[in-house]
Amino acid sequence: MKKVAYIRTSTGKQTLGIEVQKEALKAYNPTHWFIEQVSGRKVDREQLNRALDILEEGDTLIVYKLDRLGRSTKQLVNLISQLEEKKIHLNIITEGIDTSTATGKLIFTILSAVAEMEASLISERTKQALAMSDNKGGRPRLNNLTKAKVLEMHRKQTYTVSEIALELNISESSIYRIVRTHKLNSNKG
């Protein structure tokens, strides 16, 4: 019987989160490890899919925490249904959930609903904070002087895009967008 460990963090900056999960899962002696850095809201996750593909009847999927599997009740319930159909167990170590038991299945379903509510509350608070803030999210607007400097530095061809970005403290994608927009506007007139 395989014991498959699945570890997930949301961003590439959360390497500590990966190490914490790895250390905790080692005690369960996984035979396979799958690790990825992607949003829990994303439905199609490559490493989770690979983990699910190798699991067979009687195997166990081991995760550190419920929210490592997903952020919505629907997503989590679909996953547990998929595991149940294949007769695969789920062990969520921080919550002490083992779906090989009826109680474990019940607790899993309840915690799935709580995880979705928590994600909704975070989203709601973020929207409220942005509504009350001068910062409305998204990228900051660049003033005309900065745009003119970008075009001038780009035209001279003595600076790389990276150097322009560093000098003006803007992203490379902003530089490409400014240059592209300028070319489009120049072609119209």
| Residue 10 annotated to the active site | yes
| Cα 143 from chain centroid (whole Å) | 32
CA distance 73 to 80: 10
Residue 131 host element (H or E): helix 102-132
Contacts of 175 (CB under 8 A, 6+ apart): 150, 154, 161, 164, 165
Q: How many CB atoms lie within 10 A of CB 69?
A: 23
Burial of 1 (0-12, 13-18, 19+ CB in 10 A): exposed
Active-site residue identified among 10, 100, 112, 133: 10
| Residues annotated catalytic, as ranges | 10
